[in-house]
Amino acid sequence: MEREAIDQVRRFNRLVSQRIGALDDDFLARGRPLSEARLLHEIGSGHSNLSELREQLGLDSGYFARLLRSLESQELVETRAAPQDARARTLHLTARGEEEFAAYEGLSDAAADNLLQSLSETQQNRLTTAMAEVERLLRAAKISIALEDPRSADAAFCLGEYYAELDRRFDSGFVPDPDAPEEEYRQTTFLVARLKNNPVGCGMLRPLDHDIGEIKRVWTAASVRGLGVASRIMDRLESAARDQGCKRVRLDTNGTLKEAQAMYRKRGYREIPRYNDNPFAQHWFEKTL
Amino acid sequence: MEREAIDQVRRFNRLVSQRIGALDDDFLARGRPLSEARLLHEIGSGHSNLSELREQLGLDSGYFARLLRSLESQELVETRAAPQDARARTLHLTARGEEEFAAYEGLSDAAADNLLQSLSETQQNRLTTAMAEVERLLRAAKISIALEDPRSADAAFCLGEYYAELDRRFDSGFVPDPDAPEEEYRQTTFLVARLKNNPVGCGMLRPLDHDIGEIKRVWTAASVRGLGVASRIMDRLESAARDQGCKRVRLDTNGTLKEAQAMYRKRGYREIPRYNDNPFAQHWFEKTL
DNA sequence: CCATTTGTCTGACTTAAGTCAGGTAAATGG
DNA sequence: CCATTTACCTGACTTAAGTCAGACAAATGG
C-alpha cells in the first residue's frame, strides 16, 4: 500500500514532467529564452514590484537586472521609479509587451486545449476533475503543522483571527477569555499550521481532568478551507492526547459553527451534557480515544 | 465550461511544474548534472541499448557520448560491444553505479513519501487515486485517431491483430472474409488510433443501405485498454456516419465479446434481429443517430 | 547629519546543456 | 569486394542560466 502510493506519485511525476516539459518548450517556440518568457508572463500577470517578483522567482539580483535590460531593449517592458521609494522600481508592459504577452497566453491556451481535444467529452471532464483534486491536495501538502509556543507572535495572530471570526459569527458576538496564567501555558499543546511560513491555522489541547483532554481554538484561515487542515490538526491533537495518557477528549462549540460540528461527528465525537460554564458554548462533545 | 477546463489544465501545469521542479532539484543534490543523473537512472532502469536510449531521450549523439564518457570516468557505467554488432554498444552499471542508482531511488522515494506524509491517510488515498486518473487520461490524450487508407500497412497490422484476437476468443475460432473489392474500399471510412506513431486501434464504417451505416472491426490493443480508445473511435465513426447522411448505424458481434456489448448498450445501441448472414455474429445492434 | 541598510545595477566569471562538422570502424547490399 | 550506410566518437563551438564581488544612490535610524 505504502509502496504502491509512492510508486504512483513517482510515476505521476515522471509522466507529468514529460508532458509539462513539452508544454514549456512551446514557450521557447517564440524564439526567446525561457527565463525571459517567464518573466514577461509574470509582469503581464500584474506583478509590477521588482523586488517582490525577484523574490518570488528566486533569482539572483544581477541576473534579474540583466533579464530586465534584455526585455527593455526589446521594448516589451518599461521600468519606472516607484512612487514611494526612488530606489525601488515598478515594472510595466509596453504596448508591444502586451501583444507578446497575449501571444504567449494564446499559445498556452492552445496547448491546453489541444490536450483536451484529444479526449472525449466525458474524459475531458474526468481529467479536469482529477486535476482539480490533485491540485487541491498538492496545495494541502504544502501546509505543514508544527508545535508552537502559545505565546508566540504567530499563535497570537491565529488566535486573533479566530476570535474575530467568532465575534462575526456568534449571534451574541464574542469576547475572548483573559490570558491564561503561565502554569496553564506550560501544559498546553499548541499547534500552528503554516503555508510558506505564513500561519494559516491553529489548535490546542489542554488537560481537563487526569485522563481527559480538551481540544480548543481549532481555526483555519478562509484561504485554505476545504484542504483538510482542521482534520490534520485534530489528528495531531488527538494523538498528542493519547500520548499524554488521555482516554477521552472533550470540546465545546457554539450552535452557529455547523461545519465544525459536522466534522466532530464525522470524527467520532458524540454529544454529551454540558461539562463547563463557557457562556458561548451550546454543544458539548466527547470522543473515546 | 471550455474556458474553465483550459484554465484548470493551465493552473494544474503551473502548480505541478513547480512541485516537480523541486523534486528534480533533489536529483541535483547529489552534486551531479541533471542530465548525467537522468542517464544513470535510465541505465539503472534496464535500458542497456545505447542507440535506443539516445533515441528515447532525444539527445544529440555527440552530447550523449560525452555524457557516457563522464559516467565512465566516474566508474559508474561500463560500455561493452554489443554481441551481434561490434559497432553498437551496450550499457551496464558498475557496482559503484548500482550504489549511486540505489541512492537516487532512495531520494526519489523519500521525496514522494515526504509529500504523502504531509497529508492525512484519507487525503493520501484521494491524491494517489486522482493522480492515477490524471496519468491514465494524459496517456489516453497521447493517442491520436486519424483517417487511414484501409489497404495501408498500419491498417493491415490492426486488422491482423484484430482477427488474431477473434480467433483466440471465439469458441469456433475465426476466419476473416477475403479482401473486399476496390469499390468497397472507396466507400469505407477507416480510422487508426496511434500512440507515438504505433498503431494501437482501429475501426471502420461502411454504407449498409442508403441511410444506414455499419460499424465494423473496432479493435484496441491490449496495451491501451481502459483508456477509452474504442469510445473515441466509435464517436468518430458515428459522427462520420451522420456527416454521410446516415440516420442509423448498425453492427454485429459475437457472444464472447461481453465488454464490447456493454459498451454498445452504454452508447445507446439496442439489440435488433439478425440483419446479415455473418456466420460469426450472434447479436445485432442498432443506434438511431 | 552621518553611518548603515536597502534596492538596483554592472562587469567578470562559471557551468550545464547542447549543436555541428567531421572522423573511424564495422556492417551491408548489390 | 567495394561503395554506402550505420553506430559511435572527438573537437570546436554556442547559448542559456546563473553566481559573485563590488558600485552607487536613496532611505533610515539613532
Residue pLDDT, tens place only, B131-182 = 999 989 988 998 999 999 998 889 999 999 999 999 998 888 888 877 777 7
Stretch A88-111: mean pLDDT:
91
Q: Which residues partner with A207 through β-bridges?
A: A213
- Arithmetic mean of pLDDT over chain B: 89
Task: With cut-offs at 50, 70 and 90, classify the pLDDT of residue B19.
Answer: low
A181 burial (CB, 10 Å; 0-12 / 13-18 / 19+) is: exposed
Query: Per-residue pLDDT tens for B192-204?
Result: 999 877 899 999 9
- Spacing of B83 CA from C26 C1' in Å: 13
Instruction: Report helix angle B61-73 to B34-44, nearest 10.
Output: 80
Supply the pLDDT for residue A145.
Answer: 93
Residue B16 has pLDDT above 80, yes or no: no
Decide if A263 touches B, using CB distance below 8 A: no
Instruction: Give me the domains of chain A, ranges plus CATH numbers.
Output: 2-118 (1.10.10.10), 143-288 (3.40.630.30)
Is B127 close to A133, i.e. CB distance below 8 A?
yes
Q: By three-state DSSP, how is residue B177 classified?
A: coil
Is-contact B68 B79, C-beta < 8 A? Answer: yes
Q: Find, among A261, A249, A255, A250, the residue nearest to A280 by Cα.
A: A255
CB count within 10 Å of CB A43 equals 24
- Taking the CA of residue B4 and the nearest CA in chain A, the distance in Å comes to 9
Q: Which of A11, A57, A119 to mutate to test the interface with B (most CBs of B within 10 A)?
A: A119
Q: Which residue type occupies A197?
A: N
Supply the pLDDT for residue A251.
Answer: 96
Stretch B223-227: mean pLDDT:
90
Give counts: helices (H), strands (E), chain A. Answer: 10, 9
Residue A19 has pLDDT above 70, yes or no: no
Supply the pLDDT for residue A78.
Answer: 94
Q: Please report the sign of the dihedral spanned by the C-alpha atoms of residue A257, residue A260, residue A264, residue A265.
A: positive
Task: With cut-offs at 50, 70 and 90, classify the pLDDT of residue A178.
Answer: confident
| Out of A74-78, A278-282, B11-15, least confident range | B11-15
- Spacing of B126 CA from C21 C1' in Å: 54
Stretch B63-81: mean pLDDT:
95
Residue A240 has pLDDT above 80, yes or no: yes
Supply the pLDDT for residue B176.
Answer: 82
Provide the b/e sequence for A50-74 (b: ≥16 CB within 10 Å). beebbeeeebeeeebeebbebbeee
Task: Give residues 111 to 170 of A whose Cβ lies within 8 Å of B.
Answer: 112-113, 115-116, 118-120, 122-128, 130-135, 137-144
Residue B69 has pLDDT above 60, yes or no: yes
Task: With cut-offs at 50, 70 and 90, classify the pLDDT of residue A218.
Answer: very high
Query: Per-residue pLDDT tens for A48-91?
Result: 999 999 999 999 999 999 999 999 999 999 999 998 898 999 99
| Out of A21-30, A116-125, A127-136, B177-186, least confident range | A21-30
Supply the pLDDT for residue A90.
Answer: 95
Is B8 close to A128, i.e. CB distance below 8 A?
yes
Supply the pLDDT for residue A118.
Answer: 87
- Spacing of A75 CA from D25 C1' in Å: 26
Residue A180 has pLDDT above 80, yes or no: no
Supply the pLDDT for residue A18.
Answer: 67
- Arithmetic mean of pLDDT over chain A: 89
Is B122 close to A16, i.e. CB distance below 8 A?
no
Task: With cut-offs at 50, 70 and 90, classify the pLDDT of residue A108.
Answer: confident
B278/B275 Cα distance (integer angstroms) = 9
Query: Per-residue pLDDT tens for B98-124?
Result: 999 999 888 888 888 888 888 888 889
Stretch A13-18: mean pLDDT:
73
- Spacing of A153 CA from C9 C1' in Å: 37
Is B118 close to A143, i.e. CB distance below 8 A?
yes
Q: Which residue type occupies A182?
A: E
Is-contact A131 B134, C-beta < 8 A? Answer: yes
Least CB–CB distance from B119: residue in A12, A132, A137: A137
Stretch B181-188: mean pLDDT:
82
User: Which residue from A minimizes the CA distance to B9?
Assistant: A112
Which residue is nearest nucleotide C19, judged by alpha carbon to C1' distance? B60
Supply the pLDDT for residue A143.
Answer: 92
Residues above pLDDT 90, as percent of chain A? 60
Task: With cut-offs at 50, 70 and 90, classify the pLDDT of residue B23.
Answer: low
Query: Cβ neighbours of residue A17 under 8 Å, at least 6 residues apart?
Result: B17, B20, B24
Supply the pLDDT for residue B189.
Answer: 95
| Out of A16-30, A103-117, A231-245, least confident range | A16-30
Q: Find, among A271, A269, A215, A276, the residue nearest to A240 by Cα.
A: A215
Q: Which residues partner with B203 through β-bridges?
A: B191
Least CB–CB distance from A112: residue in B9, B23, B127: B9
